[in-house]
Amino acid sequence: MKFRFSHNNINVIDLEKSLAFYAQALGLTEVRRKEASDGAYIIVFLTDGESVHKLELTWLRDWGKDRYELGDNEFHLAFETDDLEAARTKHREMDCIIYENPAMGIYFIVDPDGYWLEIIPSKR
C-alpha cells in the first residue's frame, strides 16, 4: 500500500480576496470548484501548474466569525522558487512578508487569513 500527497486545506473568510492573493503572490490558479447546492460552502482547488499537489481553499457561509483562530500558527506551507530575490521583491511590494531568516535563506509571507507561507529557494 502506498500513499502520496493530494492536497492541503485551509479555511478562508473572503474567498475572492484569498484567490486574488494566491494568484498574485504565488501564481496559483483555480483547477476545480465545488459549491454546495444550498450555498453552505464553496471549495476551490488551486494548482501551481507543475506539481500534482493542490491547495484547497474552503469558504463556509455560516462560519459566523470574522477570522479563524490559528493558535500558535506553527503550521505552514512551503513554496519553492527559482528566483528568491525576485520573489522577495514582489512580496515586499505586496507588503506581505511577515518574517525573514537571512541565515537560512528563507522568508515567510502571510495570506489574508493569517496563514504563514514559507518561501524557499529551489533545491539545486
For the segment 44-53, what is each residue's pLDDT rounded down to a tens digit? 999 999 999 9
pTM to 2 decimal places: 0.87
- Annotation: CATH topology of 7-63+74-121: 2,3-Dihydroxybiphenyl 1,2-Dioxygenase; domain 1 (3.10.180)
Q: How far is CA 120 from CA 2, 27, 52, in A?
A: 28, 15, 19
- Concatenating the DSSP letter of every residue in 31-79 gives EEEEE-TTSSEEEEEEE-SSSS-EEEEEEETT--SSS---TT---EEEE
Q: How confident is the model at residue 64 (pLDDT cuts 50, 70, 90)?
A: confident
- Predicted confidence (pLDDT) at residue 124 exceeds the cutoff of 60: no
pLDDT in tens, 14-52: 999 999 999 999 999 999 999 999 999 999 999 999 999
Predicted local distance difference test score (pLDDT) of residue 73: 64
